Structure 1
Amino acid sequence: MLNEEIPDVPYHVNGVEYERGYYLADGIYPTWASFVKGFSCAVDKKRSYFTRKQAGARKDIERTFGILQGRWHILQQPARGYEVNQMRRLMYTCIIIHNIIIEDIGYNLAENDWVVEPVVRMQRTWIDRCDTRKRRTKELRDSEVHEGLR
């Protein structure tokens, strides 16, 4: 996000429009806009429901990578040993293998697919790039957006 390498993904939550995507996270991550965590103490049914659904989706993702590790021994060693491009290719491979498995068991996701166009980079001054990075860092760490998404 800070390097402007991800596309904008507009969506609405509770009537508010957001542009940046987010990751499902657990309690060890900071309260930033890019991490959506469940509530540690859900005091009402609405928060309890959200926490259950968020944890379920997060566990589904963890199980998927567990299957990829167990079946194809993908990501068996620490990621620090990989170059960034190697990790990117590994993740794309995991996603492709996941989609092949989903299609093989009879679920077809092609009807809902959407294509993301690559981000077009324009030449800008160093000051513009610094200002953009500061603005995006502030957006990334916005705890109010984090609470709004929860």
Structure 2
Amino acid sequence: MQPAGTIRMYRHAPSFSGDMQRCGRAMFAARRSTSARTTVSVLGEIDAVNSRVMARYVEAHTGVSRQLLLDLRAVDFFGGHGFTALYYISVHCARSDVDWVIIGAPPVRRLLDICDADGELPLVDDLVSALVRLDRCAQCRRHVVPVG
């Protein structure tokens, strides 16, 4: 009898070369930064029209990644539905064991100051901080020794 265990199921790896999607007044683009890291960049406005699409776009592009860099520096407007999308992404990343960070423009930061006052979401100041944080997470994963 074979021992029972958990098997991680991956979706088909999406094409990352120029993979873009437009919805409402926003555009989403994904690319593989490294073999384990995906960067999703958002341009424009995130509101009730496209927040779910953004969350699903991110979910679809983290299927084979261990890390996600969500770049919201080019976001001009970030409504309350955007926070819901970030929460959805957070839950998805936690369930999928994906480390992630958010680089936010002023509209994103303003909303997170109100809706995420305790700083539960992984918001960082700039790209350098994001990369340092993700590298630190990757280093911690390498040092974890399975028990049992």
- Pick the structure with greater CA Rg: 1
Normalized per residue, the structure richer in helix is 1
Normalized per residue, the structure richer in strand is 2
Higher relative contact order (CA 8 A, sep 6+): 1
TM exceeds 0.5? no
TM-score w.r.t. structure 1 length?
A: 0.25
TM-score w.r.t. structure 2 length?
A: 0.25
